[in-house]
Structure 1
Amino acid sequence: MSKPKRVGILTSGGDCGGLNAVTRAVVRRARDYDIEIYGIKDSTQGLMNRPVDAELLDIKKVSGILRYGGTILGTINKGNPFAFPMPDGSLVDRSDEVIEGYKQLGLDALIVVGGDGSLAILRKLAQKGNLNLVAVPKTIDNDLGATEYSVGFNTAVDVAVEALDRLTYTAISHSRVMILEVMGRDAGHIAVSAGIAGGAHVILIPEIPYSMEKICKTLSERRDRGINFSTMVVAEAVKTETGEAVKYTNSLGQSLYGGIAQYLGDQISTSTGIETRVTTLGHVQRGSKPSALDRVLGAAFGVSAVDLIAQEKFDHMVAWQNRHIVAVPIMEAISQYRAVETDGGLIKTAIGLGTYVGEIDRVTAAS
């Protein structure tokens, strides 16, 4: 093929801080290769719309967006084109419409910024339609194994730390236990990092089982030593002590994590008599303006994604490894899941600080 001259970019899945930094970097770097960048609205939905919902992005359109939260392109985390939900409740394969939208725009390649689910769907589309694809990792959960950091994670941690700082003041004022429930899907990366940075006394993650008795003992001993407050951070996917996931069903029929902090709070207040309050941070972690690190990471990923297209190195994802930007095959990237390493440095740090992080011995025994 001739050198790429027209490239699309879309953001897919949940929003987060740093997405606009990627878009801005892509547009700015593309000038060096004389490549036009088309911003596709609302992920694959924009390619299904007729006419295709996309616009040519120039320097003026991306000026100033580096510090914006969310994504100027819009995004969706539902509506798989291979099983698209219709008003009558049926599921229809609309993948050909997405492929046709790519062709109608006359694209030579597509940059997708997304997590493992989005990348799996877009790669399937690329394979079916012979589309040239380059990926940028984006997830606040930071669970893509091929990259040490994904866009959005650091911002989510910063928001959680700020929340924990604020809760600590009111915990001291009222002699309470404050429990903060954070996002993270099935991984505890946000909880561990925020818990250490925010000085939490208990950190619970789905990778490590816990003992309710030990939690209550930890909090009661602090009270008995004359320390009138305690803080906890719990990841949303932590289960009850009996192994049950705590979920709720929203208006769309989706089963989502949420409520483990309230379960723990009720158990603690009943067992210890300590007044306990619960805060579920939720989507506040997604909506913040990006941290400095996510702006840098987004910029580096955006530049590198365009470089891969100029090199015609498709079906790859840019990744951060050992302080370098590298390219890994998309299939390899999405097949590697990265949970919190229970014998890793952050868990050892938390334990060294005297933080209760669960029953590590039970993890060792299970393995």
Structure 2
Amino acid sequence: MGKSKRIGILTSGGDCSGLNAVIRSVVHCASGKGWEVLGIRQATVGLMARPPEYTKLEIDQVDPLLTAGGTMLGTTNKGDPFAFPMPDGSLCDRSQDIIAGYHQLGLDALIGIGGDGSLAILRRLAQQGGINLVGIPKTIDNDIGITEHAVGFDTAVNIATEALDRLHFTAASHSRVIILEVMGRDAGHIAIAAGIAGGADVILIPEIPYDMDQICYKIKHRQEQGKNYCLIIVSEAVRTQDGECVRLTNRAGESRYGGIGQYLADQISDRIGAETRVTVLGHLQRGGTASPLDRLVAAAFGVAAVNLIDEGKYDHMVAWQNRQVFTIPIAEAIAQYRAVNPEDTLVKTARGLGIYLGD
């Protein structure tokens, strides 16, 4: 057994299913090496606090969390530490506070679980402050280009697929067009995967333009064939036909994607008079029990991350390709953004099934 180490682990960015499975895997593997694992609370915010906010993680503590959604450590997707919002409304560079928190805890390495944005920030902190960083990719969007699977994606697809399964029956019962709006930021991976698996008639993703006339034709053509309903799944990042981004703004002035489903419903109703309803899944896609695939990937990623630390191979991210885990420099991993390629297998599959995608 090598020298004992103290490693930290944090979850950053939006939550998703499978995060606790990663934490559990890290604790099991590290404990087998005689190492200590500290869970950092609320991502980098926990390292800003004085004293730093953390909990020592033990196997008995993390074992029951294998199937639990969310993250036991908490997370945040607000507040760039290099321009952190202060109570008086000003912005302050808090990066040195985070770096000092890492060293104050006496950490030998830090495992950061996040998407491309979170990993980019963590890497910048690591380069600036001598942090031995290892990355694990998680995002329901599955848009980190170098990995075929990111933690959380498969569960999000399962939830969207189940929603379509259920909507089939109510759509048919009332002869309605039902639109399911799903997450996906700027990539349509959830929509196209769930749309095929759930038997959607129309799949709209931001990477492929669409024509409202063709959507209406699809609905009417189904009616002429004796099919009295239609299911449409749309990614939240899809724009209007005029190219406008559809966003919702709350009372605090924060703007985020939302509303494309209702826009489409209004267009369909106005053009062909079809009774149309909209379901917005929202954060349901982030919650609940992780799928078996997400748990397997999480387990493999956790073990691989600990082994990278054992090898002293820092500034690397673990990834999944060709049914196995491999490692790649973080900078290279997050540089390869992965949208849906119009020539992807799933796009060809959808078209082969007669699903309207656009173009």
Q: What is the TM-score with the length of structure 1 in the denominator?
A: 0.96
Counterpart amino acid of 1:322?
Answer: N
Change (3 A) 1:26 1:81: same
Q: Which residue does 1:157 correspond to in 2? A: 157
Q: Which residue does 2:315 correspond to in 1? A: 315
Q: Which residue does 1:122 correspond to in 2? A: 122
Q: Is the 8 A contact 1:4 1:108 kept in 2?
A: no
Q: Which residue does 1:166 correspond to in 2? A: 166
For these two proteins, the number of residue pairs brought into alignment is 358
Counterpart amino acid of 1:55?
Answer: T
Q: Which residue does 1:148 correspond to in 2? A: 148
Q: Is the 8 A contact 1:4 1:309 kept in 2?
A: no
Q: Which residue does 1:197 correspond to in 2? A: 197
Q: Is the 8 A contact 1:4 1:109 kept in 2?
A: no
Q: Which residue does 2:218 correspond to in 1? A: 218
Distance across 2 between alignment mates of 1:5 and 1:250: 45
SS at match of 2:66: helix
Q: Which residue does 1:56 correspond to in 2? A: 56
* Offset, 1:4: 6.0
Q: Which residue does 2:337 correspond to in 1? A: 337
Q: Which residue does 1:41 correspond to in 2? A: 41
Q: Which residue does 1:364 correspond to in 2? A: none
Distance across 2 between alignment mates of 1:283 and 1:154: 15
* Offset, 1:251: 3.8
Structure 1: which 5+ residue stretches go unaligned? 360-367
Give runs of aligned pairs for residues 240-255 of structure 1, distance below 5 A: 240-255=240-255
Distance across 2 between alignment mates of 1:254 and 1:140: 21
* Offset, 1:54: 0.5
Distance across 1 between alignment mates of 2:97 and 2:175: 59
1:27 and 2:23 aligned:
no
Counterpart amino acid of 1:332?
Answer: E
Deviation string 1:290-318 (CA, Å, 9 cap, x unpaired) is 11110111000000000000000000000
* Offset, 1:254: 2.6
Structure 2: which 5+ residue stretches go unaligned? none
In angstroms, what is the RMSD of aligned CA positions?
1.0
Counterpart amino acid of 1:37?
Answer: V
Q: Which residue does 2:67 correspond to in 1? A: 67
Change (3 A) 1:116 1:242: same
Percent sequence identity over aligned pairs? 63
SS at match of 1:179: strand
Distance across 1 between alignment mates of 2:81 and 2:59: 31
Distance across 2 between alignment mates of 1:58 and 1:263: 49
Q: Which residue does 1:176 correspond to in 2? A: 176
* Offset, 1:224: 1.4
Distance across 2 between alignment mates of 1:250 and 1:109: 39
Give runs of aligned pairs for residues 104-115 of structure 1, distance below 5 A: 104-115=104-115
SS at match of 1:64: helix
1:103 and 2:100 aligned:
no
Q: Which moved more, 1:199-208 or 1:156-165?
A: 156-165
Distance across 2 between alignment mates of 1:169 and 1:209: 29
* Offset, 1:253: 2.9
Distance across 1 between alignment mates of 2:35 and 2:123: 22
Counterpart amino acid of 2:30?
Answer: A
Q: Which residue does 2:266 correspond to in 1? A: 266
1:275 and 2:271 aligned:
no
Q: Is the 8 A contact 1:4 1:310 kept in 2?
A: no
Counterpart amino acid of 2:306?
Answer: V
Deviation string 1:156-180 (CA, Å, 9 cap, x unpaired) is 0011011111111100000000000
Deviation string 1:173-209 (CA, Å, 9 cap, x unpaired) is 0000000000000000000000000000000000000
* Offset, 1:270: 1.2
SS at match of 1:283: helix
Q: Which moved more, 1:253-262 or 1:7-16?
A: 253-262
Distance across 2 between alignment mates of 1:229 and 1:3: 64
Distance across 1 between alignment mates of 2:149 and 2:255: 27
Distance across 1 between alignment mates of 2:208 and 2:79: 33
Distance across 1 between alignment mates of 2:92 and 2:155: 36
* Offset, 1:274: 1.1
Q: Which residue does 1:328 correspond to in 2? A: 328
Distance across 1 between alignment mates of 2:289 and 2:253: 30
Distance across 2 between alignment mates of 1:92 and 1:289: 38
